Amino acid sequence: MNESTLCPSSAIYDKTVLAGEGWIYRIEANQIFRIVDLEGNQAVDTLFYNANDTSERYSATDTIVGQRNIYLTTGTTLLSNLRRPMLTIVADTCGRHDTLGGACAVESNQVRYAIEKRHMHACRNSFLLAIEDPKWDLTKRDIAANINFFMNVPVTPQGKLTFEDGISNPMKYVEMRAEMDVIAVISNCPQLNNPCNGYNPTPIQVLIWNASVRSAGA
């Protein structure tokens, strides 16, 4: 757990992403990026790409092997598939974030819950819609294993993976410093079949600060 000194009023970007919506945005190197779980218990499925070469992207397995720990929190460096720092988590009032649980898809929902559930809204459809504009230089094959901010997916020493009730509460947040220019892609998870959103998906807030504001406020 580690709090931030930044004030939302000094942010250069401040947007609420509604439950089930996608979001894509370019974040410049050294800018600070915060995600706020406004109402608590909301999984925020997130991908990052090098804005100048999208074949370089966040890598879940390289990040966890790099820090030899599967959970993300303050101090975690989010590594790319080229094992370069993309962002560093600098504040986190939730304490633990998942990167093994992936993003829900209509197809994986069929497997996990029922063949008939293909119609239910899912993260990977939101990702595909978010990246649809060719200007982002991203297609389905670029959708790699993502981060689930505010989601709790423990692994046991016996090798079991479980989806536990969220450990996030209203207004918990996680904050990152961009180490390179990145494209952030978010699906504010619409999953209604498991407790990852407390069976009630809710809005999140995304904020961005310029690096100069950070040094002035510190």
**Which residues in this chain contact other proteins in the complex, by CB under 8 A?**
54-55, 59-62, 64-65, 68-71, 81-83, 96, 100-103, 105-112, 114-115, 124, 140-146, 153-157, 159-163
At 79, list the tokens.
């590594």
Q: Which is nearer to other proteins, 95 or 198 (CB)?
A: 95
213 close to 2: Cβ distance less than 8 angstroms: no
CB of 7 or CB of 82, closer to other proteins: 82
Query: Could you give the CA distance from residue 70 to residue 98 in angstroms, rounded to a whole number?
Result: 8
Q: How far is the CB of 159 from other proteins (least distance, A)?
A: 4
Minimum distance between the CB of residue 157 and other proteins, rounded to whole angstroms?
5
For other proteins, give the closer residue by CB, 62 or 181. Answer: 62
Considering the complex, what minimum distance in angstroms separates the CB of residue 49 from other proteins?
Answer: 10
Nearest of 55, 53, 46, 4 to residue 25 by alpha carbon = 46
Q: Which is nearer to other proteins, 84 or 211 (CB)?
A: 84
- Rounded Cα distance between 35 and 54, Å, is 22
Cβ of residue 56: shortest distance to other proteins, in angstroms? 8
Those residues with Cβ within 8 angstroms of residue 191's Cβ, 6 or more apart along the chain or in another chain: 43, 104, 109, 122, 123, 197, 201
In angstroms, rounded to a whole number, what is the distance separating the alpha carbons of residues 48 and 59?
9
